[in-house]
Structure 1
Amino acid sequence: MNIGEAAAASGLSTKAIRRYEEGGLIQPRRLPNGYRVYSEADVVALRFTRHARELAFPLAEVKRLLELWRDRGRASAEVRSIALQHVAALEAKAASLQTIAGSLRHLASACHGDSRPDCPILEELAR
C-alpha cells in the first residue's frame, strides 16, 4: 500500500509516518522509482507507535518498545521497567505542572483584573 493508504489504516498523518521512518521505527520497501510500499506489518507497527505516543512515550522509548515487541524472546521484565520509568517521569512532570499552576493561580488572585495598569503577573514575569 502507498503512504496515504498506510496513513488511513494506521490513523497517522503522512508527515508522522515519514518522521517515524526517518527515526528508524519502520523501514518500508522502496520501489525502483523511490516510492514507499507499506506492508501490513508496517501498518501494525505504525498503530503500535501511535498508541505508544498517545501514552506520551518519547520516540526513543517507542523504538525500544517496538524492538522488544518484535523480539519474541524478550523478557517482559524489560518492558515493565520501561513502562514504570515512564510512569515515574510522567508523575514528576505532573507534579511540576501542579506547582506551576499553583504559582499562576496565586499570581492571578493577586491581580485586580480591572482597568488599572498594575499587574503582579506582569511584574513577576519581568523579574
Structure 2
Amino acid sequence: MEILTVIGVLLTLAGLFVPSLISNHASRKAEFRKQSAPILANLLTEIKAIEGGSYAFMLIRDSDFYQLLPYASGRRRKKLEAAYSAYLEAHHIAVTLHWHDEHPSDRTIFFPGSFIVTNPDEVLEKMQSLRTELSR
C-alpha cells in the first residue's frame, strides 16, 4: 500500500512540473526560430546567388548573428558559433572574378558590380553547416 502512495505522489509531482518544462522548451525553440528567420533568409539568398553563378556579398553581419545567440542553449550556441565561423571562412576562401573578365563582350553590355565565384562548391560546402543550424 505504501508503494502505491509513493507512486501516486511521484506521478502527481511529475504532472505538475513536466508540462511546464515542455512548454518552456517549446517557447524557447519558437523564439529561436523567429529570431533566426531573417538570418536564414539572407543565407539562402547568398547560397542561391552562388549556385546561380554570382557572388553575393556577405548579407549576415556579426551584430545580427550575436543577437541570435541568447536564444540558443549552451550546446546549440557552440554549434552555431562553429557554423558561423565556417560561414566567415567561406567568404574568405571565395575566389572571385569580375563577370566581364570571365565573359568578355564587345563593350555593349557591362555589369560593373557583378562578380562570379570560381570555387562555388568549396564555398557552398562551408555555408551548409550554418544553414543546418539555423534550420533546426
TM-score normalized by structure 2? 0.30
Highest CA radius of gyration, 1 or 2? 2
Determine which structure has the larger helix proportion and give its number: 2
Q: Which has the higher contact order (CA 8 A, sep 6+)?
A: 2
**TM-score, normalisation: structure 1:** 0.32
